Chains A and B, each alone.
Chain A
Amino acid sequence: MFSVLRIALLALRRNLLRSFLTMLGIIVGISAVIVGVSMGTGAKAEVDKRIASMGQNLLTVLSGNMSRGGVRGGFGMAPNLSVEDYEAVRREVSGISAASPEARTSAQVAAGNQNTFIQVSGVSEEYILARSWGLKSGANFTGADVRGASKICLVGATSAKTLFGEGIDPVGQVIRIKNAPFTVVGWLEAKGSGSFGQDQDDILLVPYTSVMKRLSGDTKFRSIFVQAESPDSIADVQQQVTELLRRRHKIADGRDDDFMVRNQQETSDFFNANNRIMTVLIGFFAGISLVVGGIGIMNIMLVSVTERTREIGIRLAVGARGRDVLMQFLTEAVLLSVLGGALGIATGYWLAPLLTRLFEFPTLISQTSVILAFSVSAVIGIVFGFFPALKAANLDPIDALRYE
């Protein structure tokens, strides 16, 4: 076996340039597989990371239902989750560790001589617990603040920087939201961008009652966040919330929900659907280039068999069996494709981080894709090398010896 490999290596080395050009098809194909799959898994990992950063064991109740491809309203639908809905969820559903509605509005806010246009989120005192957000200084507001619609707020890192300057603790300062003065009680830690790519730190959190009564005048929420006590209770909580809201919204059996409860897995699937399509597409094109590469190997091996007819004749004359000759040429073909595969994997390892650096596209090379790519290249060698090898093995020794 070792000597067969050595002979194959020598044969390939004799035509170094030709061997390399033959491998090129496989190199391109395999590196495309590696990079393509790494883009898919990279994007998925990024989505998962951002979704995990939303908080642990989080369920999101959204008004409207876009589970049917998002055509039936979705975000465009009017908010239909009431304060009573939220309170009922908090009161009646068991296994919840934290819950908060979100009443969003955007507003021009000012502090001193600085002002900015940002998102103001009206939430309960449990919101930052549910989202696992930390405070750099100050304290969270309380249930009493929520009930009393207090004019106090928590300020995000980016907003604090814009309004008060870099590194200055904003706690105790006053921010005017639509000319109403809100006192800063807490400074949120920086979190980076969220699952939609927006800056999660450019935000003001105020009690939802304050938003509804003093700022937007809304009476309904677009969303409610619910945190389950443990990963095991997520499904149960999801079930309870769905049943409770159907009852409260008086939805008859058999009718669709007018809201949607999504867990993080579903959110992740939703965003990953596009990634999957992309991965399949890239895989398809990589597959085509692998087939073309395989045909290239077959072509060169056929040329090689013709060129070396005399050598084959000599080997047959001194006692090589057809199988020996078959093995020799098959080994050469597999060596070509496997070396091409290895170089392709190396190229992929080099290209994927480059892609991330140049286009900020997340990539992650998975071990599975490397093993898969390597096996595929070996299979290509066997499949496309077999016919030329068989042709060599079936040569007539007399004709082969006479071949000029």
Chain B
Amino acid sequence: MPAVVQLIDFRKTYRTGEIEVQAVRGVNLTIEKGEFVAIMGSSGSGKSTMMNTIGCLDRPTEGKCLIDGVETGSLGRNELAELRNRKLGFVFQGFNLLSRTTALENVELPMMYARPRPTASEQSKRATEALTLVGLGKRLDHTPSRLSGGQQQRVAIARALVNRPTLLLADEPTGNLDSRTSIEIMGIFQKLNDEGMTVVMVTHELDIANYCKRVVVMRDGLIRSDTAVTSRFIAVEELQKLEAEQKAVQLTA
């Protein structure tokens, strides 16, 4: 079975006028099925470029990027779109839901572009299942404006899952959320990962990275460290601790 992600001497160069910027300068990275990887790095480290390439939104300038064994460098726009649709699920920092569109319809969106396209009833059944999985089974007809940040991110996760992808990509999924909601979202990722889903996420926060199994640190377009997480946080436990602390605060107050 091929690795889910395989980057071989991956380089990306942006050209703005005369100036060439080497965003990524030769990265080798393999992510196997079932892994839970955090990619860390300051802005300008090349992590976003790498995520865009893994997400098939962009192609490498040099080197290779294989997603589930498929080389993306030689694919056209439409083939990349199809690959994103079939194998990838995206979760963004800003949620990126369609406003004035219900949670259910937002989750149905990727299926609209799937080929063959599921029937309308199949679409709504699968979207309902995905929303139930992230704990929003009772808010199917809510528009994003009527949902909290954490709930919006859950909708986004449901949308990412609905086409049963091989890889879940999250770009700072907890960046806009408070600490408690962040833990809840990380709990969902951990649960999905426990069920076999491969998850790759970009994050700034070290304690969020500690919920993953492996941390890759980038700087100046290169991988500087790639280590397994030793003292991993488990979301369920962290939530219990947090609740206990809050109770304690209330008791003393």
Contacts and interface: CB of A to CB of B under 8 A. Distances in A.
A318 B159 contact: yes
Contact of B81 (A14, A314, A319): A319
A14 B99 CA distance: 11
Contacts of B82: 319, 321
B16 to A, nearest CB: 13
B86 interface: yes
B81 A321 contact: yes
Given A311-B98, A314-B109, A324-B113, A319 B86 contact: yes
A321 B117 CA distance: 14
B77 interface: yes
A401 B93 CA distance: 11
Contact of B77 (A3, A321, A401): A321
B96 A314 contact: yes
B58 interface: yes
In the A-B complex, the 10 residue pairs with the smallest Cβ-Cβ separation, listed nearest first, are A319-B85, A318-B110, A319-B113, A321-B81, A321-B78, A320-B113, A319-B84, A397-B57, A314-B96, A398-B57
Given A314-B109, A319-B84, 11 more contacts: A3-B112, A314-B96, A317-B57, A317-B90, A318-B85, A319-B86, A321-B77, A321-B78, A322-B77, A322-B78, A398-B58
A281 B56 CA distance: 56
B96 A319 contact: no
A313 B97 CA distance: 11
18 contacts: A14-B100, A310-B96, A311-B98, A314-B97, A314-B98, A318-B110, A318-B113, A318-B159, A319-B110, A321-B77, A321-B78, A321-B81, A322-B81, A323-B78, A324-B113, A398-B57, A398-B58, A401-B96
A317 B113 CA distance: 11
A130 interface: no
Contacts of B112: 3, 320
A176 interface: no
Interface of B: 52, 55, 57-58, 77-78, 81-82, 84-86, 90, 92, 96-98, 100, 109-110, 112-114, 120, 159, 163
Contacts of B97: 314
Interface of A: 3, 14, 310-311, 313-324, 397-398, 401
Contacts of A315: 109, 113
B251 to A, nearest CB: 45
A286 to B, nearest CB: 37
Nearest to B162: A318
Nearest to B78: A321
A314 B107 CA distance: 12
A323 B76 CA distance: 13
B71 to A, nearest CB: 19
B165 to A, nearest CB: 10
Nearest to A3: B112
B195 to A, nearest CB: 22
Nearest to B92: A401
Nearest to A318: B110
A19 to B, nearest CB: 15
B84 A317 contact: yes
A310 B98 CA distance: 9
A12 to B, nearest CB: 13
Nearest to A324: B113
Contacts of B81: 316, 319-322
Contacts of B100: 14
